[in-house]
Amino acid sequence: MPKGELATGPIVTEALSQGKEVYVPYIHKAAATPSEASTSVMDMVSLHTKEDFEGLEADPWGIPTPSEPSIAGRKRCLGKRAFDPQTLEDVREGMQHLDVIVMPGMAFDRRLARLGHGKGYYDSFLSRYEQGLGASTDSESKMPFLVGLALEEQVLPEGKEVPEGPYDWRLDALVIGDQPILRR
């Protein structure tokens, strides 16, 4: 379990064995203008096979991550130049639509809010994804279904809330061990 989150490896390998298209997070430096400092952003990139997934190396958070040299041969969810969030045309070009995102979290509440590691990678990614959808001409495009996986100990008691900011995204569903699934 990478840094307090449930491992999703079995879900990924099962989806790949069923022929599903699977994307994994890829965190990298964003292109910056000369007046800006570069910052890290997240995109989702495609996996090719189960063996491809099993060959990924863990990043500093313990998450299996594609190597930088392998990125050129992978589809990027946000398109060709997704690492430049300020260029809307780049976000639109070649965008891949996702059906479901398994959202990591250290803690969750019953309102379906989540507490991550505080870097905002998933929230920023979802905002950029939504921006790309707004520019899409595909009327069938929609936001992915956001699912959290939690141990019972990671869910705050009724009445307690995870702190939220204006850029935080809530889940659509939360799976808590063998308890009933919480849904919006």
Cα–Cα distance measured from residue 35 to residue 109, given in angstroms and rounded to the nearest whole number? 40
Eight-state DSSP code of residue 73: G
Who's near 21: CB < 8 A, 6+ residues apart?
Answer: 46, 96
pLDDT tens digits for range 22-77 = 999 999 887 665 666 668 889 999 999 999 999 999 888 788 899 989 998 999 99
Going by pLDDT thresholds of 50, 70 and 90, the confidence category of residue 4 is: low
Ramachandran quadrant class, 152 (left: phi over 0; alpha: psi -120 to 50; beta: rest):
alpha
* Mean pLDDT, the chain, integer: 85
- Nearest Cα neighbor of 28 from 81, 102, 97, 96 is 81
Beta-bridge partners for 115: 107
Residue 109, pLDDT score:
97
Question: In the predicted model, is pLDDT for residue 5 greater than 80?
Answer: no
Highest mean pLDDT out of 75-79, 143-147, 178-182 = 143-147
Q: What's the predicted TM-score (pTM) here?
A: 0.85
If you average pLDDT over residues 2-12, what whole number do you get? 78
